[in-house]
Amino acid sequence: MTDPTAILIEGCLRQDSQSQEQLYRFCYPDMIKICYRYAGDLDGAGLIFNNAMLRVFRHLKQYKHEGKLMAWIKTIVVNCCIDYARERSRFRNNQSIEEDGDEQSIPPDVLDRVSAREIQQLIRELPRATATVFNLFIYEGFTHRQISESLGIAEGTSKWHVNEGRRLLKESLRAFINH
């Protein structure tokens, strides 16, 4: 039995536009959500996704078929999101912002009263730099060191943004629930 993914990849490598369109459409539903988290709007998300897919098509010959194709594509998408955020966010270059020492936590019962979509909307309302670091830490599982290296900021700055994101989300959730 022939692997349909392998056939699709082979078509893309031959520059077959129909295969490229199929891969683009196949990736779109999952990957556009990631792009939207970083862009905050559909125009920016579309720009990130298109840039990511161009990279995918350009570098597809480097895909080793050792893992899952979507995981490989997701890595490219996240890297494009980082590039987009770096271009548009104002990070304090290599200045370490000291942590408050007071890590913010959100009471677990709040999550019973708020949907995931509502929480994602509140995250999109965070300041852009804070939202970017928060997304990389929470959604992508990056360490503060990885965030620091990716965005060119100090690890302390990364920690501060995550804590600030938690603090602002806690305030937003409190206000959201009280209304």
Which stretches of the chain drop beneath a pLDDT of 50? 1, 93-101, 104
- Predicted local distance difference test score (pLDDT) of residue 148: 94
> Residue 73: CB partners within 8 Å, gap ≥ 6?
27, 31, 52, 56
- Predicted local distance difference test score (pLDDT) of residue 94: 41
- Predicted local distance difference test score (pLDDT) of residue 95: 43
- Predicted local distance difference test score (pLDDT) of residue 106: 56
- For domain 4-88, the CATH class is mainly alpha
Domain range list for the chain:
4-88, 108-178
- Predicted local distance difference test score (pLDDT) of residue 107: 58
- Predicted local distance difference test score (pLDDT) of residue 99: 46
- Predicted local distance difference test score (pLDDT) of residue 174: 81
The domain 108-178 is classified under which CATH number: 1.10.10.1100, 2.140.10.10, 1.10.760.10, 1.10.10.10? 1.10.10.10
Identify the burial level of 107 via C-beta atoms within 10 angstroms of its C-beta, where 0-12 means exposed, 13-18 middle and 19 or more buried.
Answer: exposed
- Predicted local distance difference test score (pLDDT) of residue 116: 77
Tens of pLDDT, residue by residue over 61-85, are 998 877 689 999 999 999 999 999 8
Estimate to the nearest angstrom the gap between the alpha carbon of 164 and the chain centroid.
18
- Predicted local distance difference test score (pLDDT) of residue 2: 62
CB atoms within 10 A of CB 41: 10
